[in-house]
Chain A
Amino acid sequence: MSHSIDLCDVTLGYGRHPAVHHLNGRIEAGALLAVVGPNGAGKSTLLKGLMGQLKPLDGRITLNGFGVRDIAYLPQLADIDRSFPLPVYDFVAMGLWRQVGLFKRIGAGERGRIEAAIASVGLEGFETRTLGSLSGGQVQRALFARLLLQDARVILLDEPFNAIDAKTAADLLDLIGRWHAEARTVIAVMHDLETVRRRFPQSWLLARELLAAGPTDEVLRAENLLRARRMVEAFDPFAAACDRGAA
């Protein structure tokens, strides 16, 4: 049986208000998948659901052949406190959490891997600088170096190229290409549809509900994008209980 992530009638949300509504879908192992959709469409919520950080209000997310521990996650840049006085080297090193955990020493072998990861995102010479002194693009490079060390089979990226210059984006896209070639599963929340068309073979168009899924060219057709734009963003505080699927 092939490995996959299966979503069966999944509703995710905060309080009782759904941010992702009755979603059915399957992500095959080794997929390179872009999740696109307007702001508030539930894209980040979906990633939290896949990681198991958010329990579905309804439905089931099944990891076939994966565990939650095989999943690595790149948070949005805004979720990181960049003023915290931690050197780049220490920050990247925490990608080895699974190996070193709470107390294990970071030995010569680990140091070699950390240096290699820092080098492959082009941050040599920045090891002792703190995150606060880096530009947004450089912080994103450091985050990718940490992901490299995590060596995960499933990689979730939340808006990896927001406010990133073209050169950095191109470098990091090459890394993603490398992961794809190594048969890792990559799921990225994306806003730049041009990049999605060029680099992501598969896409999901999300607007609270899954409007379209499949090969990127078909998903990103004009009529689908128009439907996504019409989605109502605000949730209704007086919404009645949803009885879809209950019958």
Chain B
Amino acid sequence: MSVYDFAVAPFVEFEFMRRALIGALALAIGAAPIGVFLMLRRMSLTGDAMAHAILPGAAVGYLIAGLSLPAMTIGGLVAGLAVAFAAGALARASVLKEDATLAAFYLISLALGVLIVSMKGSNVDLMHVLFGSVLALDDGALLLIAGIASVTLLVLALIYRPLVLECMDPQFLRSVSGAGLVAHFGFIGLVVLNLVGGFHALGTLLAVGIMMLPAAAARMWTDDVTALIGVAVLIAMGSSVAGLLVSYHGEAPSGPSIILVAGAVYGLSLAFGRSGGLVWKLLPARHLEA
């Protein structure tokens, strides 16, 4: 099999592969930078919890309108934002730390979501909601994902400076500007938007994967936040292409394939990454002069 047959022909021959490619690449461009900031703010698990929170909202949309894009999108957005803000507010008002509140919220959400979908639909619908259907993206879903990626990049550019400062030196930011709060809530909004976009392609359970795995892998290669974003986007896009090819040739489900490729990149980065890879620590090397 030539390289063309392996890597290019599937996309040339099949429209659903082309659509999946565009959807996955657009998702990677928006979600990877968000993952970088989630990681740097030590909110990796918060992203996971919020992804679960979207499920009951999308499920209510499904209950009302079936597998309808707008209904499930709006439902997911409303539920995601509500849980994000409620968890933050509850953590401030009670003795529970935010991680405990989020864990509680996401377990309840997952159970509730699965229950609602099962009330009306079949197991196939449930699988669709939980693991997405990147090979069945229609025009509406593609436009939604591309739109979310565009909005994400624009808003990130807008709030980039305060967001960085809010992460590393919030006291200073508060002393020069009131933009910290805007940056924080803008960022949370972007997280929810990208999770809703990812939900259509990869499902609620895997959407977080394309955010966090490339970010964590990229951290092993560079020590500069700007470069980190670039590397994470490249890894996410590469994983998307490779994952789709793996699923095509191996007849494996595509969403999990994409996430597993990203996982493999993460594993390799952990071992060989230029910035603190484990292999370099094990190799015997003489210490330097200065």
Contact = CB atoms under 8 A, between A and B. Distances in A.
Interface of A: 51, 53, 71-73, 75, 79-82, 84-87, 91, 94, 97-98, 101-103, 130-133, 146, 150
A75 B169 contact: yes
Nearest to A80: B169
Contact of A84 (B158, B159, B167, B176): B167
Interface in B129-183: 157-159, 161-162, 164-165, 167-172, 174-177, 179
Nearest to A75: B171
Interface residues of B, number: 25
Instruction: Give the most central of B169, B223, B228: most A CB within 10 Å.
Output: B169
B168 A84 contact: yes
Contacts of A80: 168-169
Given A53-B174, A80-B168, A130-B223, A85 B179 contact: no
B224 A81 contact: no
Nearest to B36: A85
Interface in B175-193: 175-177, 179
Most B Cβ at <10 Å: residue of A81, A85, A98:
A85
Contacts of B9: none
A79 B167 CA distance: 11
Contact of B225 (A79, A85, A97): A85
Contacts of A132: 223
30 contacts: A51-B175, A53-B174, A73-B171, A75-B172, A79-B170, A79-B171, A80-B169, A84-B164, A84-B168, A85-B219, A85-B223, A85-B224, A86-B164, A86-B225, A87-B224, A91-B168, A94-B161, A94-B172, A97-B176, A97-B177, A98-B176, A102-B158, A102-B159, A102-B162, A102-B179, A103-B157, A130-B224, A131-B168, A132-B223, A150-B176
Nearest to A87: B224
B172 A53 contact: no
B160 to A, nearest CB: 8
B40 A84 contact: yes
A8 B179 CA distance: 30
Contacts of A94: 161, 165, 172
Nearest to B226: A90
Contacts of A103: 157-158, 161
A102 B180 CA distance: 11
A101 B173 CA distance: 11
Interface centre among A72, A75, A82, A102 (most CB of B within 10 A): A102
Contacts of A86: 164, 168, 224-225
